[in-house]
Structure 1
Amino acid sequence: MILVSGCLCGVNCKYNGGNNLDERVLKLLQEGKAMPICPEQLGGQATPRVAHEIIDGDGAMVLDGKARVLSPDKNDDATEEFLKGANEALNIAKSIGAEYAILKARSPSCGFGKIYDGTFSGNKKDGNGVAAELLYRNGIKIFTEETLEEFFSKENNK
């Protein structure tokens, strides 16, 4: 079973109430190969919700207590919710025996390799989101919708 970001399956769980439907990910769900999750909702965030970005670091630094997940005005600190959601996502991954996760690129929860830089300007920096980092630390191979070709080539070579 593959853990996938719910927004990629068309679930309206994105911060603005929308989704990021990717037909390839939806097909995995329809074939019974994927389990959709939204770490931000699992952590207690409402939908829609204020956008958040990781300030002064990345998901690894959030997990290590050295960075925070904040709103643009810095008044809404959602670090604890993001940590809770990451842990819940890991619990689900373990319960379904997930070896892989396909997560939403650049997200402060799900981004892998690149995330938004914390300035809310659309700029990106190297790093992982909080849930992606925790899953990765626990041996789950992470892909995003931007690296799906690599995922499918690995699956076909099994």
Structure 2
Amino acid sequence: MIVISACLCGVNCKYNGKNNLNEEILKFLQEGRAVLICPEQMGGLETPRIPHEICGGDGGDVLDEKTKVINPKGGDSSLQFIKGAHESLNIAKKVGAKVAILKAKSPSCGCGEIYDGNFSATKIKGNGVTAELFLRNGIKVYTEKNFHSLK
């Protein structure tokens, strides 16, 4: 089983109420090889919701309580992001997933690159909260940019 960010399979769970449908990734679900997650919704955030970014670090720093996930108004949603990451990990463990395909650059799902926390579209090296928790638990994380070797 593969855990996949629900937005990549057409579920309207993005912060703006839309999705990031990727037809190639959707095939994993259609073939019965995947289970969908949306860590932000699973953490209790509404859809649509105000955008969030990790301020002054990455998902590992959020998990280690060294920094926060904020919105442009300064609101702190770190607890919801952490809760959603742990709920997602529980699902991954229950289905025996060793691999995930998550949404690139997301403060939850980004792997290798995320936004810098200034809401300026500037990217930095790092992982989102869920991606980092998955990696810490031995789940290999891909994004829609580099999943092609899984076919």
TM range (shorter): over 0.9
Distance 1:68 1:129 in 2: 11
TM-score, length-scaled by structure 1: 0.94
Query: For residues 86-125 of structure 1, what are the structure 2 equivalents within 5 Å?
Result: 86-125=85-124
Q: How many residues align?
A: 151
Aligned to 2:30: 30
Query: For residues 4-153 of structure 1, what are the structure 2 equivalents within 5 Å?
Result: 4-74=4-74, 76-152=75-151
Distance 2:4 2:148 in 1: 15
Q: Give the letter aligned to residue 105 of structure 1.
A: A
Q: Give the letter aligned to residue 100 of structure 2.
A: A
Q: For residue 148 of structure 1, report the CA deviation from its aligned partner.
A: 1.6
Distance 1:80 1:151 in 2: 32
Contact 1:99-1:141 at 8 Å conserved across structures:
yes
Contact 1:143-1:151 at 8 Å conserved across structures:
no
Distance 1:151 1:107 in 2: 21
Q: For residue 151 of structure 1, report the CA deviation from its aligned partner.
A: 3.2
Distance 1:79 1:3 in 2: 22
Q: Give the letter aligned to residue 8 of structure 1.
A: L
Contact 1:114-1:128 at 8 Å conserved across structures:
yes
Q: For residue 19 of structure 1, report the CA deviation from its aligned partner.
A: 0.2
Q: For residue 48 of structure 1, report the CA deviation from its aligned partner.
A: 0.2
Equivalent pairs: percent with the same residue? Answer: 61
CA shift digits 1:32-53 (9 cap, x unpaired)? 0010100000000000000000
Distance 2:2 2:107 in 1: 20
CA shift digits 1:76-131 (9 cap, x unpaired)? 21000000000000000000000100000000000000001111111100000000
Distance 1:134 1:33 in 2: 22
Q: Which runs of 5+ in 2 are unaligned?
A: none
**Higher helix fraction (1 or 2):** 1
RMSD: 0.6
